[in-house]
């Protein structure tokens, strides 16, 4: 097996949304990868990649970081396997979905689960995590957590374009899932891996779609340690 | 010529964002269409389509309404011409972009230009327009207009995913424009057709992209009556 994926870990939990995009993409391509857990305090182990963020994929002599670049690499290197994009228009258009996920979906989820991440990560990671996140949010993690029952309504409202899409078709990519689905699913799987706070509630087409995504590839995501909403 | 497009008109100005999506799609497919102007007070003329909204496309014996359905019809009926999607993944993924455009972009533009629409439409349309929009906004059109210098900052911020995408690649669909571009461009062309209020300012990758879109198909959109920001 030539592939190795470095992914963010808290004990048995693998919770980076960007890593989950690639876990799903690898599964779609039918590619197995050795998985190396990286804690926040292990990031020096990524120095070989020339940067310090997960995911990092190693394929033989090739080292690639950044989930978008990894997805493009997989599509270009393994074009005869199931398509992540399938053509240039899909790849281009998915980049806007990738940016929407990063800047709207993940930015919306982050304050809702940040204290739960703190609770789950290994003790040696906690000082770094608390300091960096409290600087970002401008207040204690406990204060961010205390706002979430109110804040989740805005988060759910921000999913309106996704909700409407999934009310019209089974997957973001249409009748079958592709990389657009893996992008957005990664955010929910991130939260689900580390937090019992229900980001979604039934009835909601987004909830139903997450459930379908959890079952893909023999239940890959559902079987990973996480909570049930 | 077998194609006819019914589009929203205010005098010489054609300002429906949904109609502009189809104008651009027809141009990409190299299809000419007879264009029938429809004012708000003319909507009874659309009764043959079984509904009262533009755009409506008539292709021989086929009548199609709703911009998304028209785009899919054009792609399926004229598959050998330039692709709007090119595959099922692109079509599926573009539906999320279509929903984002409707619910974020157009919803953000609407209060910024609604009074300018009122000023431009034909006098017989004004009572209907004022009543329906003031009901939607819950206050006089003049009050909505008065807020726009403040509100435009939130609108520009809401374009962050689009801005980041266009900072990375020339068009939403990648190296060349496709329907994802026509969807989002329609919103800016709507505003530009009817309002001199600058939704975008330089430097902004979105501004540069709008400028490129205005030049497509021999300057189709730039030559249509409108304002320069």
What is A16-84 written as a DSSP string? -HHHHHHHHHHHHHT---EEEEE-GGGGGGGGGGTS--S-EEEETTEEEESHHHHHHHHHHHSTTSS-S
Chain B interface mutation, best of A28, A72, A95, A96, highest count of B Cβ atoms under 10 Å: A96
**Looking at the complex, does the CB of residue B167 fall below 8 Å from at least one CB of chain A?**
no
pLDDT for residue A1 is more than 60: no
- Between A86, A162, A175, which is nearest B96 by CB? A162
Flag if A89 and B90 touch (Cβ within 8 Å): yes
Residues A100-133: tens digit of each pLDDT: 999 999 999 999 999 999 999 999 999 999 999 9
Region(s) of chain B under CATH 1.20.1050.10: 88-218
Query: Are A144 and A137 contacting, i.e. CB atoms less than 8 angstroms apart?
Result: yes
In this prediction, what percent of chain B has a pLDDT beyond 70? 100
Residue of B nearest to A160 (CA): B103
CB contact under 8 A, A95 and B169: yes
State how far the Cα of B42 lies from the Cα of B171, in Å rounded to an integer: 36
Q: Is the pLDDT of residue B1 over 60?
A: no
Q: Does the domain made of A3-77 have the CATH classification 3.40.190.170?
A: no
Mutate one of B28, B92, B166, B175 to test the A interface: name it (highest A CB count within 10 A).
Answer: B92
Residues of chain B in contact with residue A104, where contact means CB-CB under 8 angstroms, are 161
Q: How far is B187 from chain A (nearest CA, A)?
A: 16
> Mean pLDDT in chain B?
97
pLDDT (tens digit, 9 = 90+) per residue, A71-108? 999 999 999 999 999 999 999 999 999 999 999 999 99
Segments in B138-204 forming alpha helices (H): 141-146, 148-158, 160-166, 179-194
CA distance A220 to chain B (A): 22
CATH 1.20.1050.10 for domain B88-218: yes
Structure ipTM: 0.97
pTM given for the model: 0.98
Asked if the C-beta of B170 comes within 8 angstroms of chain A's C-beta atoms, the answer is no
- Ranges in chain B annotated CATH 3.40.30.10: 3-77
């Amino acid at each position: 097996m030539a592939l190795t994926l470095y992914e963010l870990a808290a004990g048995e939990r693998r919770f980076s949304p960007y890593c989950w995009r690639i876990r799903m993409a690898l599964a779609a391509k039918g590619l197995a990868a050795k998985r190396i857990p990286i804690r926040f305090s292990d990031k020096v182990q990524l120095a070989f990649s020339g940067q310090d963020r997960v995911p990092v994929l190693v394929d033989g002599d090739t080292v690639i970081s950044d989930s978008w670049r990894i997805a493009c690499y997989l599509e270009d290197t393994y074009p005869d396997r199931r398509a992540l994009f399938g053509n240039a228009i899909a790849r281009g258009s998915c980049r806007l979905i990738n940016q929407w996920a990063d800047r709207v979906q993940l930015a919306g989820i982050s304050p809702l689960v940040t204290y739960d991440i703190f609770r789950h990560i290994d003790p040696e990671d906690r000082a770094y995590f608390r300091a960096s996140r409290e600087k970002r949010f401008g207040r204690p993690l406990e204060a961010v957590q205390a706002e979430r029952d109110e804040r989740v309504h805005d988060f759910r409202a921000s999913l309106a374009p996704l909700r409407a899409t999934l009310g019209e078709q089974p997957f973001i990519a249409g009748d079958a899932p592709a990389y657009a689905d893996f992008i957005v699913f990664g955010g929910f799987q991130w939260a689900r891996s580390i937090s019992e706070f229900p980001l979604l509630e039934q009835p909601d087409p987004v909830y139903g779609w997450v459930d379908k995504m959890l079952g893909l590839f023999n239940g890959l995501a559902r079987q990973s340690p996480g909570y049930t909403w």
